[in-house]
Amino acid sequence: MRIVVALGGNALLKRGEPMTADSQRANIRRAAEELAQLVKAGHSLVITHGNGPQVGLLALQAAATPDTPFPLDVLDAETAGMIGYVIEQELRNVAKDRLFATLLTQVRVDPRDPAFAKPTKPIGPVYDEATARRLSAGRGWTVAPDNGKWRRVVPSPRPLEILEAEVLAFLVERGVIVICAGGGGIPVVALADGSIAGVEAVIDKDFASSLLARQLDADMLLMLTDIDAVYLDWGTSQARPVGRLQANEINAAHFPAGSMRPKIEAAIIFATATGKPTAIGRLEDAADIVAGRKGTRIDLPVPLH
């Protein structure tokens, strides 16, 4: 199968871990070993990944320099190259007979997207509330609660088109395992004269991965995270994992906005547009999730004949 694999933040940095090169590489090495099992099983992979902690850290460092800091679209590109390099290298080390390529990916968004007026995407380190509010006042940031802590939030417009889709398809059809759309891709807008320009935003990885899977005619969208399955009634005493959900019978609004909701929304969009499944689960269970033995599968019901 042709599978678009979206690596969650746990593939790069576990919650609470120091944001060091060594810790990130160790996590990516673990992810590469799991993905190599899918490659050895004969699947064709296109790999995406998040960049929230990394792009936030770069933005923090850039803001501390005396010169004009780089805008978020440039920092998105920088983190995509940095993380993609490590993913590609670690994959090469465990699947030496395959071809790999990391591609910077521009993703067109609508400059009128309401997300630009209401930042919601968490990036960077976590803070206590007092520190977050002090940074907000001093740097002009928007901050918001995130799992008991506080983080900077930035606009996260919906992706409309992956500009390098034809190049990606060319590589995939020739057997190349591609790492792309890092951090949701580099957000750009189309100008009146037909040119494109970057914008200050971070695109949600799950929505970008869903769009990529549609543009590449993937057979499955696989979202790997640190939770073993989708849970109904999450956060309550009735919380329970579910093995299969019908895309036309679930409401993404019933899931937590900061974690599972974007994945459910992206899965519904992919299933509705293509009739093909999305699978969600732990990175460590990747092969079993694809085989249907673990995780949660979201698709459309099989029509009765």
How far, in Å, CA of 185 to CA of 102, rounded? 12
Residue 178's nearest CA partner among 31, 29, 291, 49 is 49
- The question of whether 121 is a catalytic residue gets the answer yes
- The question of whether 96 is a catalytic residue gets the answer no
- The question of whether 294 is a catalytic residue gets the answer no
Question: Out of 27, 51, 84, 263, which one is annotated catalytic?
Answer: 263
Count of all residues that appear for the chain in the document: 305
Question: Out of 27, 51, 52, 121, which one is annotated catalytic?
Answer: 121
Question: Out of 205, 281, 294, 295, which one is annotated catalytic?
Answer: 205
How far, in Å, CA of 305 to CA of 303, rounded? 6
- The question of whether 52 is a catalytic residue gets the answer no
Residue 6's φ and ψ, nearest 5 degrees, are -100, 110
- Is 91 buried (19+), middle (13-18) or exposed (0-12) by CB count in 10 A? buried
Residue 208's φ and ψ, nearest 5 degrees, are -65, -40
- The question of whether 263 is a catalytic residue gets the answer yes
Q: What is each CA distance from 287 to 37, 40, 43, 97, 121, in whole angstroms?
A: 7, 10, 10, 20, 30
Q: Where are the beta strands (DSSP E) in the chain?
A: 2-7, 44-49, 99-102, 106-109, 121-127, 142-146, 149-154, 159-162, 176-179, 186-190, 196-198, 220-225, 230-232, 240-242, 244-246, 278-282, 296-299
Residue 83's nearest CA partner among 185, 153, 156 is 185
How far, in Å, CA of 14 to CA of 211, rounded? 26
Question: Out of 9, 84, 124, 183, which one is annotated catalytic?
Answer: 9
Q: Active-site residues: which are they?
A: 9-10, 121, 205, 263
